[in-house]
Amino acid sequence: MKKIFLSIVLVNLLAACASETPKEAVEEPTPAVTETEATAPVEPAQAPVETVEAAMPEERSVYFPFDVDAVQAADRAIVQAHGDYLSKNADAKVRVEGNADERGSSEYNLALGQRRANNVKKLLILSGAQASQIETMSFGEEKPRCAEHNESCWSQNRRADIVAK
């Protein structure tokens, strides 16, 4: 009986040590076009449509919570606007530069910056851009926007920048 009781206590102790602390809520990217929109019949245009080159959206940075690489709902509109721009301008090319704050090792921050850039690229493609129009790279913690050592500053450094090439 003592062995069973001791093994139950040890299993519970191991289970308690193995549990993780909850992370911030992260939302996955959603496609810009729903299935019903994609299958809906398209009505013919009333007048000929002229091709006008639109200007690249002015907001070019997407921000991330600490240790998160998924594009947040608040920044999806920015990425979708860039995807729409790229879909209308086939000759346009961009580079998505992933960045991280100074916390963590250089290697970890480079990998996190690359994951952030790749997730922005995926959302750009879902928004109409072609993969050949987008290049990704990571600067990790090497290209900070703010050099102070506080959360306000770190939150500015956790970003992906969309830069025209």
> Which strand ranges, in their side-by-side order, compose the sheet holding 61-63?
61-63, 159-164, 94-99, 134-140
Confidence at residue 16, expressed as pLDDT on a 0 to 100 scale: 59
Confidence at residue 11, expressed as pLDDT on a 0 to 100 scale: 64
Tell me the pLDDT band of 13, cut-offs 50, 70 and 90: low
Structure confidence by residue, pLDDT tens digits, 19-45: 554 455 555 554 555 444 545 555 545
Instruction: For the chain, list the domains and their CATH numbers.
Output: 56-165 (3.30.1330.60)
Confidence at residue 80, expressed as pLDDT on a 0 to 100 scale: 96
Confidence at residue 98, expressed as pLDDT on a 0 to 100 scale: 98
CA-to-CA distance for 85 and 81, rounded, in angstroms? 6
Confidence at residue 48, expressed as pLDDT on a 0 to 100 scale: 42
Structure confidence by residue, pLDDT tens digits, 82-133: 999 999 999 999 999 999 999 999 999 999 999 999 999 999 999 999 999 9
Confidence at residue 8, expressed as pLDDT on a 0 to 100 scale: 74
Provide the whole-model pTM. Answer: 0.68
Confidence at residue 51, expressed as pLDDT on a 0 to 100 scale: 43
